[in-house]
Amino acid sequence: IVLKEDPSLPEAVRIRLNNKSIELGDESKKGTRVKVYGRIHRLRAQKHATFLTLKDGYGFLQCVLPAGDLTKNYDALLFAQETALVLYGELKKLPAGATAPDGRELQVDYYKVLGHAPSDLDAITNKVSRDQDAWDAAMLDNRHLVLRGENASALMKLREFVELAFVDTYRELEFRKVSPPAMVQTQVEGGSTLFKYDYYGEEAYLTQSSQLYLETVLASMGQVYCIEKSFRAEKSLTRRHLSEYTHVEAELDFIEFSDLLDHLEEIISKVVDRVLNDETAAGYLKVLNPDFKKPEKFLRMKYEEAIEWLNKQDPPILNEEGNPHVFGDDIAEAAERRMTDIINRPILLTHFPVEIKAFYMKKDPNDLRVTESVDVLMPGVGEIVGGSMRMDDYDELIEAYKKNDISHEPYFWYTDQRKYGTSPHGGYGLGLERFLAWMANQHSVRTTCLYPRFMGRCKP
């Protein structure tokens, strides 16, 4: 049978599936005749009708094909998950007792298949393997198909919203957006994670952080921020390290350390509010993390107190060598996450020792062993933000390059900031993937970006 549209039917209006303003028909009233493009999300063939759940990236719609010409043809036999098609019909209220997205369904009178799909998708995306690593690898190899699923797409939509919520919040707070370069010749966070490449015969790097460039525009732009990619050659595989990640960074001029801490709490709270106050975004979050609650006030804790806290636990939470923590230890990922999970609220962890922090960080004038630095720790993930006040004294900065074995020449433009009207200032970087792993309760940052990059994976 070749399907034909009945010319006596009213002309169909093209709608997206999130359009809820269309009048619905019922037994007594005809509904609007519409035309919808999309792909099959779910398929259920019954004796009296075939039910398709159509998706178009905006919403879902139940479509009913009464058994007959519409179901007994070659195209209908080949229907599969992801078949692309356009369907025509009348939008109707659901019969009593039935459930479907938005309480409506399309009584289909005509359709055209636009792109067939093989029927193996279920097998790929629901592959059950007892081996977690094999399962993870299969999911990553098929990321381009996994992204079509309900969870992955909800997460990518939430991600878009969160990124825009940062933009909106920065605008509300009068920060200006700039776009620093990704190709650079200076390191920010240590040489061991630099991605080096050949830049027309010169050594160059993919940026680890836009911080130094943000600092250079404070004088002309006021408070500034950027949302750009950062790159780290992380040579270990963890739940929260990527080789390429989205870095939300901001820099604040003429501030004290406490202003930076207040700002961090404010921006995170405001972004969370924007998600929760938006029906659509809150809907995605509900799918992903139904128990999410806006955090209460952040706990402020000094590094030194954290060391004591770790040692006071029963049994004590040990350092990576299996010993009790001592002042000067890096608090490793596992210990940090355990602490955050037990305390179970956001923590502003401050005043890290000079030796374990980056060269540019300002020392605490009241305790020269430590820096005016902060990490924001979130339950389930641990560190999502790293920030600090910046060393604003010229001589001290020159000394810091030396101490850290960094040649000062490539940094001439950064050092100049300390010559031309230096100022007390500070800023931070927030990993968008980690923020989302916290909000959407994801085990790893690998599911919170479109196509994760980490050691051993650069495809698809």
Residues of this chain that bind ligand 4AD (CB under 6 A): 188-189, 209, 211, 232, 234, 241-242, 245, 247, 249, 383-387, 427-431, 433-434, 445
Q: Tell me whether residue 249 or residue 329 sits nearer to ligand 4AD (CB atom).
A: 249
Nearest distance in Å: CB 71, ligand 4AD:
49
Closest approach of ligand 4AD to the CB of residue 379, in Å: 15
Query: How open is the CA angle 272-230-223, to the nearest 5 degrees?
Result: 60
Residue 227 beta carbon to ligand 4AD: minimum distance, rounded to whole angstroms? 12
Nearer to ligand 4AD, 110 or 438 (CB): 438
CB of 206 to ligand 4AD, least distance (A): 12
Rounded to whole angstroms, the maximal C-alpha distance in the chain is 85
Q: How far apart are CA 88 and CA 407, in angstroms?
A: 68
Q: How many CB atoms lie within 10 A of CB 342?
A: 11
With respect to ligand 4AD, which residue has the nearer C-beta, 60 or 451?
Answer: 451
Nearest CB to ligand 4AD, comparing residues 82 and 189: 189
Cα–Cα distance, 262 to 259 (Å, whole number): 5
Nearer to ligand 4AD, 192 or 277 (CB): 192
Nearer to ligand 4AD, 19 or 216 (CB): 216
362 contacts 372 by C-beta, under 8 angstroms: yes
- DSSP label at residue 446: G
Single-letter amino acid code for the residue at 274: R
3-state secondary structure 249-315: EEEEECCCHHHHHHHHHHHHHHHHHHHHCCHHHHHHHHHHCCCCCCCCCCEEEEHHHHHHHHHHCCC
CB of 369 to ligand 4AD, least distance (A): 20
Considering beta carbons, is residue 84 or 356 the nearer one to ligand 4AD? 356
Residues in the chain, total: 460
Question: Least Å distance between CB 388 and ligand 4AD?
Answer: 6
Closest separation in Å from C-beta 191 to ligand 4AD: 13
Using CB atoms within 10 A of its CB, is residue 290 exposed (0-12), middle (13-18) or buried (19+)? exposed
Q: Kindly state the smallest distance separating residue 284's Cβ from ligand 4AD, in Å.
A: 21
Residue 378 main-chain phi, psi, to 5 deg: -120, 140
User: CB nearest ligand 4AD: which residue?
Assistant: 386
Q: Which residue lies nearer to ligand 4AD by CB, 85 or 252?
A: 252
Per the rule left: phi > 0, alpha: psi between -120 and 50, beta: everything else, 57 is left
* Structure-derived torsion over alpha carbons of residues 281, 287, 289, 292, reported in degrees to the nearest 10: 50
